[in-house]
């Protein structure tokens, strides 16, 4: 016996069936990688500041800390300007792995020397990692939310993941630095970012759209061709 279904019920059922389990899995993997990235990044600047101010009278280390921040910001500006175009050309995954790799290098190389000039120059890797990660965070969120109308929700979830990673990072590796020393803390930070990079490489698919978006010039030329036809 046939049963009547309202149009609203049919639309809801179709919407539920259109959800991709693979996309849901990719969202969870992406949020896990974001958490690991910030877990490996948030504690680095506070620990670096402690190293630079160790054995000094507070005010004497102000210029070193300022230089660390300025170098990272200068690199971020240059890298962020071209990251979006590079992500559309090469894909999201290679550039996201560059962010993980840059952070791993910065954390691991910190144990080589605690010379102030060496540490200041080394922080340029932080600018590279942060700029690439910041641009890709928005792009990948948009890719995963395409067609669902949930971009804002996914972006907010990613921000929550960064907060969780930051809280865990400063709490855990601050304790490790206090009990085992700064080098042990930075080795731990490098290990976490390597874990995040391996997880992203092995489990996360490429999210770049298979069909590139049409530019405004292409759309205009297409309209003119149709009018002539």
Give the start-to-end residue ranges of the domains of the chain.
23-207
Q: Structure pTM?
A: 0.77
DSSP alpha helix (H) spans, the chain? 7-17, 21-41, 44-53, 62-90, 92-109, 116-122, 124-145, 151-180, 182-203, 216-228
What's the CA gap between 146 and 211, in Å, rounded? 13
* Cβ(95)–Cβ(140) below 8 Å: no
* Cβ(100)–Cβ(37) below 8 Å: yes
Place of tokens 């731990």: 188
Per-residue model confidence as pLDDT tens for the chain (229 residues): 444 444 444 444 434 434 554 567 888 999 999 999 999 999 998 888 888 887 665 556 778 888 888 998 888 888 888 887 888 888 888 889 999 999 999 999 999 988 888 988 998 999 899 889 988 898 888 888 888 888 888 889 999 999 999 999 999 999 999 999 999 999 999 999 999 999 999 988 888 877 544 444 555 665 566 666 5
CATH 3.40.50.2020 fits 23-207, yes or no: no
């Amino acid at each position: 016996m046939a049963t009547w279904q309202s149009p609203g019920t049919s639309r809801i059922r179709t919407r539920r069936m259109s959800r991709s389990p693979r996309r849901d899995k990719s969202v969870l993997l992406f949020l896990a990688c974001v958490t690991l990235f910030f877990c490996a990044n948030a504690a680095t600047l506070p620990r670096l500041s402690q190293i630079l101010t160790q054995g000094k009278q507070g005010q004497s280390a102000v210029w070193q800390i300022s230089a660390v921040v300025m170098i990272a910001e200068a690199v971020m500006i240059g890298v962020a300007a071209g990251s979006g175009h590079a992500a559309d050309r090469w894909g999201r995954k290679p550039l996201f792995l560059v962010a993980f790799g840059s952070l791993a290098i910065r954390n691991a190389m910190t144990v080589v020397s605690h010379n102030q000039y060496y540490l200041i120059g080394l922080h340029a890797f932080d600018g590279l990692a942060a700029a690439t990660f910041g641009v890709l965070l928005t792009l990948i969120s948009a890719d995963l939310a395409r067609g669902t109308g949930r971009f804002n929700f996914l972006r907010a979830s990613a921000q929550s993941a960064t907060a969780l990673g930051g809280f865990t990072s400063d709490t855990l590796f601050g304790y490790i630095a206090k009990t085992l020393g700064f080098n042990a803390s930075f080795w731990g930070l490098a290990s976490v970012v390597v874990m995040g990079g391996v997880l992203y490489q092995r489990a996360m698919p490429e999210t770049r759209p298979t069909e590139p978006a049409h530019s405004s010039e292409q759309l205009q030329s297409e309209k003119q061709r149709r009018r002539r036809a």
